[in-house]
Each structure stands twice: as structure tokens, then as C-alpha cells.
Amino acid sequence: MNRKGENMELLIKNGLIIDGTGAPPYAADILVERDTITDIGKFTDVKARRVIDASGRCVSPGFIDCHTHSEINLMNNRQHVNAVYQGVSTVVTGMCGLGFAPMEPCCFEDAMKVNAGIFSNVSGHLPRWETFGQFLDLLDGCAVNVASDVTHNAVRQMAAGFTSAPLVGERLEKAKEHLRRSMEEGAAGFSVGLSYYPGTYSDTKELIELCRVVKEYDGVFCVHLRLNIIGSEFDPLQEMVRVASETGVRMHMLHHRTKYPATIGRPEKLIEPFDVCRKYGSEVTFELYPYLAGCGYMMVLLPGWVQDGGYPAVMERLGDRNLRQRILKDMEERCSLIVGKGTTGVITHLKDPYSEFLGKTFEEAAEMMGVSVPEMIVETLLENDLEAGWRGTEPEDEAVRSQLFRDIYQLFENDRYTIGSDTIPTGEWCHPRTFGTFPRVIRQAREHGMPAEKIISKLTSLPAHIYGLKGRGVLAKGYAADLTIFDFERVADLATYEEPRKRPAGIDTLIVNGKVVMEDGDIIGILPGRALRRRR
């Protein structure tokens, strides 16, 4: 096709197009005017203000990271280099029920302090918002696009603070009102973190009532499962099956992979329980990240009764020597549920960025303090005003590790599985998934022989469908000009647990809304990203 004489914003020529639909790659050029793809074909003598020669490389839709905890970091560091280096053009945040919108002014400081182990307590540097719409407004103008869920903990805080009880009656109606307003203001969905407080204080009936609101807007219900209760017949998977079946809500299961020893070698056990949901009109999708260790905030290791009432109450209980033995005893069971068998924790973030405990395992830190591991956790939380983050370690047994990685690949082959990095960009010692998730999964899937077009569809059009990001996730005329250019055979993750902030190889150019934010591996420094509002 000849577009001679036309003057375009951008011409990308000679690339191998992987369009995000799962169709086979093909050679073509792409024309972009302003923020939109205007044509795909073979063009000669077209004038463009900028020309990128993609010879020998692939061109795909920008990757969509459908699980991050990046919202506060984005407000402080809008370049968001960890995403840009990976070829990610859109991040979805507000996951695992952890978030700050909507938020009444009187609750803001408490929420920041309770969640400081993940987000840092940077409230003094932040603008203020109250509604979800105002929160999204503040996420305009980053290097990447940002969509966000409204979170269970924020809605609960608006309705009942950190009260240790399920929402009923007037409190439940107030929570539904805040959820409904947030959906109307553009939330992509609704997320819960049922192992985090105050979300854990909920019951199944509360979740069903809230999901009825999400269903009204065709939003997606994003689930961080409740912990298994030792000695109980309660099944966290069946709880979610019930919620989906009774409401018909679309459901997305976060970081949903096998664990040792409960489900290792049996990945089908994670998917089969949800097959019944189709009968009730509920679409269920899944995600994982290609690592065997997670990360989060150390406060999650405290029993629920300690966390009732928010920051002042937690600090008072941790400092009460008369309660110390009860706290330590009740931590034993909770720690056993969260710190996997054959693994330990590593301290990754503290209020004191120069602390000698950063990078130490729980056992090493406890030995340095001359106390037990549970007492080390309590003292660390006290000394750092709850601003303490940690990550897990991979199982020591090589056979266990190998099987868990085989399970990850088997799950990723499923058409309903996508990738979410679960990025927590806080601190020098962040998890390597922050810089390595997307190149790592491309490399691993490539090494297993998965076709490039299938890999890319799972990183682009599938998450766009899940979160209702219309006009994105596919390379086609009229779609947003979010594009990633990479050498498929060279893509590889270089971030490690020891050096978690190393940029990947093989991904060199990222275009967001028609503007080049990275070219030849160099960050350009512009901020064309937008806050994406989901519409019915």
C-alpha cells in the first residue's frame, strides 16, 4: 500500500508484527498519527516526523501488567522505569484489597501507616484525594498508562474503619455506596486481599453483596485468597466459587499457582473448582508470576486481633509487655500459613534505609537481636512504625523447585492464564519480579517451545479483555498506539534476588499513546501515559 505524500507522526518500518490476537507474525510497517494506529501494511515514500526501523525485531502491543502495587510509587516517580524497561505500556494497580481510594481525610494517615511496609509512608509528599475519580486524576501523566481497581480495604475503611467484624446493615450499605460510586468514576474492578486486615474480617455474605455491585458495572472481581485455616473444613477456593456462582461476577484469581506441599504437582486442582461457575455466567481467569517466592509487609504476620483498630491500636498492643507472650503464641500459626514450608523470610524494606537488618533473613536478624524470630518481627515493626517489608525464599529442595516451575508452565499454557508481576517497587531490596517478570516469562515460555504469538497474546489482548481496556492490547487500525519493540530470541531477565533492579535484555523500545518513552534502551523522559477509566 502506498501512502505517498502523507505526513504522519510516526512510522515503524520493517518489523515482524505480533498483533496480540494470537495470529501468526507477519512483516509490515505501522503508521501512527497522534495517539492512534492509522494503518498497518507496507508503505513507501511516506513522510513521518519520526521513523523507527524495526528490522530484525518484533513489534507487538505494549505489554499490560495486570497486577501491581505501584500507585503511590507512580505519584512520586512517574518515570516508572521498572515497567518501561520490560516493555510494559499499561499497569493495573489497586490489587489484593490494598489501597487508598476512596479515602476520607481523617483516615488517610492511618491507612498510609498501616500499609507502609508495602508503599512506604510518604504521605507528607503526596497530594490529597477523597474520591476514586480524584485519585485517578492524579495518575494521569506517567510514563505508562494506569488503570486501577477500587480496593476492599479502602471501601471497608470508609464504612467501618479497622473494625474486626463483617459488614452488615448500615455499614454494608455504606460500603456498597462507596463501591458503586468508584465503579461509576472509572474503577476497572474490585480487589480483595482476604489474608490482609481489615479484609480478613469480612465474611462470604459481605463479599457476595459487594460483588453484586461489581456485576452491575460488568467490572472484574480480583481475588487474593483467604488463608487456609488449620484444622478447619473451610475451603478458600469454594468460598470464591460460591461468590461467583451466586452473583455471576467476572472473577480474576491473583497469583494463582501451586504451593508446596498442598498442591504441588497438581495444577489442575487450582482450575477445576471454577468450571462450575460457567453455568452461572461467571467468567473466571487467572494469573501468576514466574517466581517461587512472594513478598509483602511484615504486619501480615501478626494475628488479626492485634490489627483491630488500625495504627494506634496496633502500636499500643505491640508495645504492651503484658500482651507479648499472647502475641508471640498466636503468631506461630499465622507464620506457618504465610511462610512456606522449607523457606524463610528476608527483610527487604525498613523505615531506616541504612538499617543493618536489610537483606538479612529472619533467622539472621533474630540472631543479631538475640531473640526468637517472632519476637524479632514484633520488635522490627515497633522500631519502624510498621514500615517493614519482607520477601520469601524459594524452597531449598531442588526437586520441589523443579516441580513448582513445571506447574507454572503448565498453568501458563491454559488459555485463561495471564501474567501479573505483583510489583512492589518500594525499597532498594525489592523483589526481582519488579524488573524481571515479563522478560522472564517470555524467556521461559520460549525455551519450552511456546509460539511467540501465543505468549504475546497472554501479555496483551487477554489482560485488556479482563480489565475492559477497550482499544488496547491489539495492533489494529484505530487502536491506541501502545507498542513494544524487542528481539524475541534475546529477551531475558537479568534481575535476581541479590541484584533485583537489573534491567532486562532484548527489549529496546516502548511507545505509549504514540510517544516514544524508550528507544534503543534509553529512557526518553517524557510522560504520555494516561489514567484509564473503565466504561460500561
Assess whether pLDDT exceeds 90 at residue 283.
Answer: yes
Report the SS3 class of residue 383: helix
* Number of helices followed by number of strands (H, E) in the chain: 19, 21
Quick: pLDDT tens for 490-533: 999 999 999 999 999 999 999 999 999 999 999 999 999 999 99
Rg (Cα) of the chain, in Å, rounded?
23
Quick: pLDDT tens for 327-358: 999 998 888 888 878 899 999 999 999 999 99
Residue 44 pLDDT class (50, 70, 90 cuts): confident
Distance CA 79, CA 528 (A): 10
> Higher confidence at residue 130 or residue 227?
130
- 7, 48 Cβ separation under 8 angstroms: yes
- SS3 of 286-317: the string is EEECCCCCCEEEHHHHCCHHHHCCCHHHHHHH
Average the pLDDT over 401-423 and give the result: 97
Provide the 10 A C-beta neighbour count for residue 143: 27
- 433, 496 Cβ separation under 8 angstroms: no
Predicted TM-score of the model (pTM): 0.96
Quick: pLDDT tens for 237-279: 999 999 999 999 999 999 999 999 889 999 999 999 999 999 9
Contacts of 406 (CB under 8 A, 6+ apart): none
DSSP 24: P
Provide the 10 A C-beta neighbour count for residue 485: 24
Q: How far is C-alpha 180 from the chain's CA centre? A: 22
The pLDDT, as a whole number, for residue 434 is: 97
DSSP element (H, E) containing 151: strand 150-151
Contacts of 394 (CB under 8 A, 6+ apart): 291, 292, 293, 343, 401
Grid cell for residue 323? 500482651
Distance CA 236, CA 26 (A): 44
Residue 6 pLDDT class (50, 70, 90 cuts): low
Grid cell for residue 174? 455504606
Assess whether pLDDT exceeds 50 at residue 5.
Answer: no
Residue 535 pLDDT class (50, 70, 90 cuts): confident
Quick: pLDDT tens for 181-212: 999 999 999 999 999 999 999 999 999 999 99
Average the pLDDT over 391-397 and give the result: 94
DSSP element (H, E) containing 189: strand 189-193
pLDDT-above-90 percentage for the chain:
89
The pLDDT, as a whole number, for residue 1 is: 45
Quick: pLDDT tens for 131-185: 999 999 999 999 999 999 999 999 999 999 888 999 999 999 999 999 999 999 9
The pLDDT, as a whole number, for residue 454 is: 98
- 149, 191 Cβ separation under 8 angstroms: yes
The pLDDT, as a whole number, for residue 229 is: 65
Assess whether pLDDT exceeds 60 at residue 311.
Answer: yes
Mean pLDDT of the chain: 95
The pLDDT, as a whole number, for residue 2 is: 43
| Helix ranges restricted to H, 217-352 | 236-247, 268-271, 304-307, 311-319, 324-338
